[in-house]
A and B are shown apart, each in its own frame.
Chain A
Amino acid sequence: KAGVTQTPRYLIKTRGQQVTLSCSPISGHRSVSWYQQTPGQGLQFLFEYFSETQRNKGNFPGRFSGRQFSNSRSEMNVSTLELGDSALYLCASSLGWAQETQYFGPGTRLLVL
Chain B
Amino acid sequence: GQQVMQIPQYQHVQEGEDFTTYCNSSTTLSNIQWYKQRPGGHPVFLIQLVKSGEVKKQKRLTFQFGEAKKNSSLHITATQTTDVGTYFCAGTKRSQGNLIFGKGTKLSVKP
Which A residues lie at the B interface, using CB under 8 A? 33, 35, 41-45, 48, 55-56, 58-59, 90, 92, 97-99, 101-107
When C-beta atoms are compared, the residue in chain B nearest to A43 turns out to be B101
State whether B103 touches A42 (Cβ < 8 A). yes
A101-B48, A103-B45 as given contacts; A43 in contact with B88, CB under 8 Å:
yes
Q: Which residue of A lies closest to B100 (CB)?
A: A45
Cα of A45 to Cα of B99 in the assembled complex, Å:
8
Helix, strand, loop or mixed for chain B's interface?
Answer: loop
Once bound together, how far apart are the Cα atoms of A43 and B92, in whole Å?
Answer: 14
* CB <8 Å contact, A101 and B33: yes
- Choice from B43, B44, B48, B95 contacting A43 with Cβ under 8 Å: B43
B residues at A contact (CB < 8 Å) = 1-2, 30-31, 33, 35, 41-45, 48, 88, 90, 92, 95-104
Bound complex: CA A83 to CA B100 (Å): 25
Could you say which of A48, A90, A103, A107 contacts B98, with CB atoms under 8 Å apart? A48
CB closest residue in chain B, given A59: B1
Of the candidates B35, B88, B98, B104, the one whose C-beta lies within 8 Å of that of A98 is B98
How far is B48's CA from A109's CA once the two chains are assembled, in angstroms?
Answer: 28
On whether the beta carbons of B104 and A104 are closer than 8 Å, the reply is no
9 interchain residue pairs of minimum CB distance = A42-B103, A99-B92, A43-B101, A104-B42, A56-B98, A98-B98, A101-B45, A104-B43, A45-B98
20 pairs from A and B in contact (CB 8 Å cutoff): A33-B98, A41-B2, A41-B103, A42-B2, A42-B88, A42-B101, A42-B102, A42-B104, A43-B90, A43-B101, A43-B104, A44-B101, A45-B98, A45-B100, A90-B42, A98-B96, A98-B99, A102-B35, A102-B99, A107-B42
